[in-house]
Structure 1
């Protein structure tokens, strides 16, 4: 919510501050009193309209439009030297201000997100009242869009379309089923032929299975005969089987000892790595005092940077006051010259009533 609006050197406004109330605010006043300029100043801040320099005067100093929100202050300033920037002031000065340069006609996304204003929030005196001049259909469409009812209507329409498509498919399938039923009546006599064909197919399948089984049995017999021949030729190896078993046990024991030896070597290497790591860490412990000193220096630098930001903000405000004072002094001198010009020699002074002699 906007709490306060400040306008400086924008069209007819030299310096204007408006305190807004919650809800809807209406700006009233006589013609040419600067009502429309207030709306234009808001649009210049929010949407960068109007563009260019025609809305500001060279003698009035920097152009400034600011909005005070609930938790922060957002403003835009444009100076004579071409400086053009947006600034967000945070309630906590330690965080500093966020500064964004105004480039071309684009408004920074951070400013748009914070202000969150659109055409509905601003209305001029020549525009019709919101929704009152719209037709019933347009009003309904607007509220449907706000409540996202248009998505529900679209979903219902899609579902109804699916139902209609399913109904059409069911009707077409029923017609095809009737046609197929009529065609099947012509083949009633084929049932007995199908039974005979199925019987013949069963007999043919069994015959193929028997042939395959016979072939497999023949192959098994041949394999058995070959195995008998190999058993006879390897009979001498059966006698040395106990010796082979002892040799296998010996090799198994050797493999086990090799595994234990490898584990022991790995353990020794781990110990050596740990000793190297301990030597390396001793170097870092000697640097602890230097690290503490560097941390203290870093904290001091951070504190000085925060103080520098605060001083920059104070200098900016002092420069703004000096500019305003200089312009006020120039205005006073101009008024004095005009006063003496209008009241020449021999005329009566409107303040004291005496005759002006020079």
Structure 2
């Protein structure tokens, strides 16, 4: 579906413009409110009345220029600029000695605060108000919708080179120029890289010739590895046989001990039979003895009961005696308890005096205890050292027996050192070969990139040629050019 095209006048009326500006404590302005028209606005008045300060305040709010806080009114601690737009949105630029903020108010009055934005206007605000500076050439920019006093017309006050670059940017030619510059720069860098890679390739080729002997060295190394593997295998078998021999000796000793024990237990069956008979007799004796004890206990209880019945005739008199006896018994128990406590205190007192007497020389005992502990600690260390010494002697003896099996080990060491050196050279050769492969790959990739860049340059030159043919004028000096001149320009770039 095609949208209806707007006329230039309709596009102008559809654009957002500044409706109102409020300056608070900005340079000479204590509080100033200015209303703007939707068309051209010109600020006029006597000198030194703050006209430039108004323009400077608008630029400060829209472009965050100038920086610093020198524009805060003398005697005040903060300043702000509020700009209201025709779409009912607004921005506020606020600055104090400690705060640096942007405020954005949407058409519903919702506030958003921005801080920590540095020297640039927050991107969110630029995207919303859609007011930017126009780049003329390089980093040079200009605010085409705001002009200060005595400032010349747009582009007419600029030099020829800036005007040409600005017009080129307006029609998009600067993209082709930048692409050609970047392409030529990449081409130079790639040629330099290619030359360095070729030199490195030649140097590596010369270095590789020094390692032609490595193939023979590798074959010798393979043989040595086979011999080393055979030695390791036989060493493992030897250690395994030594362990089996030790287990065999232990088993032989255990068999002798077991046979000795078996010889001493030849009559074990007769002993077991007699032991069973003896256990049976003991069991019968325990049963008879238990019954005898029970019978004796019964006779004793009968005699006790008869005596009780004999003395029960005077039971009432005995009751009174028992009551008196109970009272006297309680008093006796109380006196006995007091006497025991008294004796216990006297005994503790005498023991304490004895302990105090014995502890007069306690410092001597303490010193003797410390000396004894030191001697015990030294004796334990000597015992540990003696044990370690015995273990070391045993290991040294085993090591000497083991070393005797390798009388010709020095020749093997020389061979290992020789092979280690050659192995190091072989590893170096492998690394060089890998670097050589990588360099070849880089050269191929570089050649491919150069070819692609040449193709891109050709395409850009064709597009540039077609653009120049359509324009018919030089984008730099604005003079007319023909097809012959265009061909000359293109040939200079190629």
What band does the TM-score fall into relative to the shorter chain?
A: 0.3 to 0.5
Greater RCO between the two (CA within 8 Å, min separation 6)? 2
Flag the structure with higher helix content.
2
Question: What is the TM-score normalised by the length of structure 2?
Answer: 0.29
